[in-house]
Amino acid sequence: MVHWTAEEKQLITSVWSKVNVEECGAEALARLLIVYPWTQRFFDNFGNLSSPTAIVGNPKVRAHGKKVLTSFGEAVKNLESLKATFSKLSELHCEKLHVDPENFRLLGDILIIVLAAHFTKDFTPTCQATWQKLVGVVAHALAYKYH
């Protein structure tokens, strides 16, 4: 069970309230595919991923990025029960999607960079630490049902 202090919860919800899920999700997924190109292996049916410009402009990347980050929003709403919240998604990623959990960590790190660029000085060291903890526990929860 992860423990969240009142300060951490506050930092999480206040940052999340200012996030444009569609834009941020699209950007995070695009950057994942650009910075770690081997992650494109899961998206053969996404069409043109041949260049950073193509990836950023790809409507399937945008749509999927929004979907992924919307799902991440469930974590923010259920900080005390992340494993339960992501149980079905964890099974899906293992059994159907066959995604190495390392990819959840990579996406988490990318999300941090996107938030940093967006919030700049407001993304204080404490804020970064809290969010890095959050992406870590979400990645852990998503990997939890792997077998």
Q: Residues 102, 36: contact at Cβ < 8 Å?
A: no
Q: For 106, which DSSP code?
A: H
User: Among residues 12, 19, 30, 139, which is the contact residue for other proteins, using CB under 8 A?
Assistant: 30
Name residue, tokens 């992501």. Answer: 86
Asked whether position 132 contacts other proteins by CB under 8 A, the answer is: yes
Asked whether position 40 contacts other proteins by CB under 8 A, the answer is: no
The tokens describing 85, both together, are 């919240």
Comparison of 27 and 90: residue with beta carbon closer to other proteins: 27
Q: Centre a 10 Å sphere on the Cβ of residue 49 and count the other Cβ atoms it contains.
A: 18
Amino acid at 58: N
Q: Residues 28, 69: contact at Cβ < 8 Å?
A: yes
Comparison of 94 and 135: residue with beta carbon closer to other proteins: 135
Asked whether position 121 contacts other proteins by CB under 8 A, the answer is: yes
Comparison of 79 and 114: residue with beta carbon closer to other proteins: 114
Q: For 97, which DSSP code?
A: S
Comparison of 3 and 121: residue with beta carbon closer to other proteins: 121
User: Among residues 112, 137, 140, 145, which is the contact residue for other proteins, using CB under 8 A?
Assistant: 112
Asked whether position 55 contacts other proteins by CB under 8 A, the answer is: yes
